[in-house]
Amino acid sequence: MSELLTGARIVAAHALRESLRRRVFFVVLGLTLAFGGLYAWGVHELFSDIDEFNGNGFLDAETLAGATILGLAMFGTLFLGVILAVFLTLNAVRGDAERGLLQPVIVRPLGRGAYLLGRWAAAAAVSASYVVVVFFGGVLLTKLFGGYTPDSVIVPALELAGAVAIISALALLGSIVLGTTANGVAVLMVFGAGLLVGLLGSIGDALDSGTLSDVANVASWVLPFEGLYRDALFQLVSGAVSEGGVTGALVQLGPLGGSHDNHALFPLFCVGYALVVGALALAAFRRRDL
């Protein structure tokens, strides 16, 4: 076990060093700052516009506006985190083997399991840290420029981190059987499909369509990053939802996927899901001739 972890640590450190040296982080930082600036401006404008709106006593405009724009920021954060996770893993096996980068490393004593674990750990650590930092930045900007504080911040941050960690595992599995471009396209399409199903689920909830809701719920288990995202949205507004009323009903619909609380065992399921994806990746990698 210690050999596995030592090998994984070496591979992860190498992958992180590569990201630093290739200035990936600088590009991401620059784009994120631009995103943050635009978001701050948007929050400021939004809350300026709703200042004079009193909701006639049945609508809490500040909660609705804050939850909506922070939910949108959460989608943006997840999307950027997924892009980062995918680009850090999409060529980990087949792509690197085709370029001749993998063979000198994989013939060393570390073993294929340690290589996969190292690549996943590096991608998951970077993308999870990224979404947590950007999410908290979004929460801070919403508070500073709009005065809105969500009902929960810790759990949504952890769920976003879990979502990108699962995407990293899926992209790593894809990298064993698919070429770089095909894998990138496939993982992003799976991610998009997950969000789309979540959106259908929220429409199903609004229209009281059991079929659409069921499809969304099944998708949450099949593609648990989507379930984590939906629950993260729910956690933002859980207090308003429990209070009910028009505000509670509107915020529950949520932006881009709708909010929905998960089963209590869902986090455990996500861990198991990632382990199964990892085991499948290892089995496929062990069978692969390089």
Partner 1 sequence: MSDLHVEGLVKRYGSHTALHGVDLEVGEGELVGLLGPNGAGKSTLTKIACGLVRATEGTVTVAGHPAGSRAARAAQGYLAELFRFPGWATADEVLVLHQQLTGSEKGAGERADLLGLVGLSDARERKVEEMSKGMQQRLGIAQALVGEPRLLLLDEPTSALDPAGRRTVRDLLVEVQGRGVAVMLNTHLLSEVELVCDRVVIIDHGAVVTSGRTAELVRPRGVEVETAAGRRVIEGAGRAEAPRIVAELVAAGEQVFGVQVLSSTLEDVYLDAVGERESTRSSG
What is the DSSP-derived secondary structure letter of residue 57? G
Q: How far is CA 34 from CA 27, 30, 160, 228, 250, in A?
A: 11, 6, 21, 26, 29
Other C-beta atoms closer than 10 Å to the C-beta of 289 total 4
68 contacts 255 by C-beta, under 8 angstroms: yes
Report the alpha-carbon angle 194-195-200, nearest 5.
100
34 vs 275: CA distance, rounded Å: 36
Residues 21-50 that bind partner 1 (CB under 8 A): 21-22
| Binds partner 1 (CB under 8 A): choice among 58, 100, 208, 265 | 100
- Residue 163, token pair as written in the block: 């979502």
| Binds partner 1 (CB under 8 A): choice among 58, 208, 264, 287 | 287
Number of residues that bind partner 1 (CB under 8 A): 22
Of the candidates 70, 67, 108, the one whose C-alpha atom is nearest the C-alpha of residue 249 is 67
Strands (E) in the chain, as ranges, are none
Examine residue 108 and tell whether it contacts partner 1 (CB under 8 A): yes
Other C-beta atoms closer than 10 Å to the C-beta of 168 total 32
- Residue 244, token pair as written in the block: 């009910």
- Residue 159, token pair as written in the block: 């769920």
Q: Which is nearer to partner 1, 99 or 263 (CB)?
A: 99
Examine residue 214 and tell whether it contacts partner 1 (CB under 8 A): no
| Binds partner 1 (CB under 8 A): choice among 51, 54, 109, 208 | 109
What is the DSSP-derived secondary structure letter of residue 55? G
Examine residue 18 and tell whether it contacts partner 1 (CB under 8 A): yes
126 contacts 134 by C-beta, under 8 angstroms: no
Q: How far is CA 266 from CA 131, 191, 263, in A?
A: 20, 19, 5
Smallest gap from residue 10 Cβ to partner 1 (A): 5
Examine residue 55 and tell whether it contacts partner 1 (CB under 8 A): no
Q: Which is nearer to partner 1, 4 or 185 (CB)?
A: 4
| Binds partner 1 (CB under 8 A): choice among 36, 111, 239, 278 | 111
The window from 77-85, 96-104, 133-141, 209-217 that contacts partner 1 (CB under 8 A) reads 96-104
The window from 16-24, 59-67, 175-183, 274-282 that contacts partner 1 (CB under 8 A) reads 16-24
Smallest gap from residue 7 Cβ to partner 1 (A): 8
Examine residue 206 and tell whether it contacts partner 1 (CB under 8 A): no
Cβ-in-10-Å burial (0-12, 13-18, 19+) of 153 comes to middle
User: Phi then psi for 186, rounded to 5 degrees?
Assistant: -60, -45
Examine residue 2 and tell whether it contacts partner 1 (CB under 8 A): no
First-residue to last-residue Cα distance in the chain: 25
Examine residue 101 and tell whether it contacts partner 1 (CB under 8 A): yes
| Binds partner 1 (CB under 8 A): choice among 31, 189, 246, 290 | 290
The window from 57-65, 103-111, 124-132, 261-269 that contacts partner 1 (CB under 8 A) reads 103-111
The window from 15-23, 85-93, 209-217, 261-269 that contacts partner 1 (CB under 8 A) reads 15-23
Smallest gap from residue 25 Cβ to partner 1 (A): 13
Residues that bind partner 1 (CB under 8 A): 3, 7, 10, 14, 18, 21-22, 99-101, 103-111, 287, 289-290
